[in-house]
Chains A and B, each alone.
Chain A
Amino acid sequence: MEKTDSVITFENVTKNYGSLPILNSLSFEIREHDVVGVLGPSGVGKTTVLKLIADLTQPSSGTIKKISGRIGYVFQEPRLLPWRTAVDNVSLPLQAMGIRRQIARKNASGWLSRMGLDKFSDYYPAHLSGGMLQRISLARALALQPKILLMDEPFSALDVRLKEDMLSLIRAQLSEHPITVLYVSHIPDEVIMIATRIFLLAHNGDFKELPITDRSELLEKLKNACR
């Protein structure tokens, strides 16, 4: 697929929380269907980058340009409504878009089925495992058919096997329906599995894009950087 249009552009974006500087004059451009891995140690502002894109917070200075369209967000914790069933959790954002309840639920059931959760549609979150909840969260984000998918350390609480399964699932989804993805993590192995571009954020506000050439060499470099 040809990559042309700029989907997200950060121009000298600075973000402070009170007197604490988080992002310092950050500039980058993300093109359509890029799968960007944002890496860096904890506390460097990776989540803040996603929050800025999702309009959950505003920059202290600088400009953020992004195309209009739906945004899917997979959080570190699933953030499901505990009092609604799996199918309701996936269908509610669709209903928020104006899709009729019955159609939204049918669509949601389809996505749950793709995630291997068709038998658990009517279960409440409290009755499901952590991996299942995160798959529901992913189904909720993908069901919207978003222009941009933001993923904030989505599988950090899962075991290695489940994490690999989830990453394979995402890769399969992206090859079927390519979208622009920002995948934030402090674990290089995860990011390198799906990313087509890799950004590295450091504590001193340093930001750079690392070319993906030799993956094993890059992995070592990233592991050192994320320590």
Chain B
Amino acid sequence: MQLDNRLHRYIFTTLGVFFLLLCWQILSITMPDIVLASPVETARALARMMGTGIFWQHFRVTGSRVFTGVFIGGLAGFVIGIFGGLNKSVKYMLEPFRWTLMSTPAVVIVVMAMLWFGMGSTMVVFITAIFLAPFVYVNVVKGLEMVDETVIEMAQIYNFPFSLKLKHVYVPAIAGHLASSLMVIVGTGVRIVILAEVLGTTEGIGYALSLSRTNLDIPALFAWILICIALVGIIEYVILKPLQDYVLKWKKPTR
């Protein structure tokens, strides 16, 4: 009997998770406790942490920093990308900015932001937004450059005003690019926020991670890593995937 596609995916993804846990367990047996916590120890530490208020405090702070950074960076990249994608002069003028932002090492921006904004949320959100905006910008510009010329010509013949063109031609045409760049920037956003928190904050998952490292609490360290992975997973599968399915529903074949 041929398996249903969805069932097939679930079975093999679950097998993959078990295989990953098995590798982790085997590695943890062969390595000292100070280097690698086992999955069971990590689960215990996670359960213990989740019962405390401070855990949820760190989780909430990091979550809000990720959301704000991704929102500001994504929105800025999108709006500037629209201008750059529709106007070559703007695109050429923005090229040096894009190039500078995308080629500056992350740690340099973190150090500069710490100098400008001090420690805390403003610095973290600034770094996240400044890192993510160019990625969204590039995707929007590339997407707009690939919009079907014949559709644009149609909109021109029927005198679509700019607002109608933007809403019904340009934005839906780049929706696929936008959805995939959102997936990338959320994952990247979480990584940047955690990095910035490790280096320059007194609360958040990154700070908690650095505290666990200082205290050599390896199970807690791994528990926080699991939380980071879960945070990306939750955002991706609970928010972004349904959003992507919704904006691209016109592509789905009928039954």
Residues of A within 8 A of B (CB): 54, 56, 71, 73, 75, 77, 79, 81-84, 88, 92-93, 95-97, 124-127, 140, 144
Contacts and interface: CB of A to CB of B under 8 A. Distances in A.
A7 B169 CA distance: 31
Contact of A96 (B160, B175, B250): B160
A81 B172 contact: yes
B51 to A, nearest CB: 47
Given A84-B168, A92-B168, A79 B161 contact: no
Contacts of A77: 150
Nearest to B161: A96
Residue among A71, A82, A92, A127 with max Cβ neighbours from chain B (10 Å): A92
28 contacts: A71-B157, A73-B154, A73-B157, A75-B150, A79-B151, A79-B153, A79-B154, A81-B151, A81-B168, A81-B169, A83-B173, A83-B175, A84-B168, A88-B168, A92-B160, A92-B164, A92-B168, A93-B158, A93-B159, A95-B164, A96-B158, A96-B159, A124-B250, A126-B250, A126-B251, A127-B254, A140-B158, A144-B158
A82 B147 CA distance: 12
Nearest to B171: A83
Residue among B150, B154, B175 with max Cβ neighbours from chain A (10 Å): B154
Given A93-B160, A96-B159, A96-B161, 17 more contacts: A56-B156, A73-B157, A79-B150, A79-B151, A79-B153, A79-B154, A81-B168, A81-B169, A88-B168, A92-B158, A124-B250, A125-B250, A126-B250, A126-B253, A127-B253, A140-B158, A144-B158
Contact of A54 (B157, B175, B249): B157
Residue among A83, A125, A127 with max Cβ neighbours from chain B (10 Å): A83
Contact of A83 (B157, B161, B250): B250
B165 to A, nearest CB: 9
A109 to B, nearest CB: 18
B253 to A, nearest CB: 7
Nearest to B160: A96
Given A81-B172, A84-B168, A126-B251, A75 B154 contact: yes
B151 to A, nearest CB: 6
For the complex of A and B, 10 pairs with smallest distance between CB atoms: A93-B158, A83-B172, A124-B250, A79-B154, A83-B250, A127-B254, A96-B160, A73-B157, A79-B150, A96-B159
Nearest to B157: A73
A127 to B, nearest CB: 5
A220 B137 CA distance: 58
A180 to B, nearest CB: 16
A68 to B, nearest CB: 12
B164 to A, nearest CB: 6
A83 B168 CA distance: 8
Contacts of A126: 250-251, 253
A96 B169 CA distance: 13
A82 B250 contact: yes
Nearest to A92: B168
A84 B172 contact: yes
Contacts of B153: 56, 79
A95 B169 CA distance: 14
Nearest to B154: A79
Contacts of B251: 82, 126
A106 B169 CA distance: 21
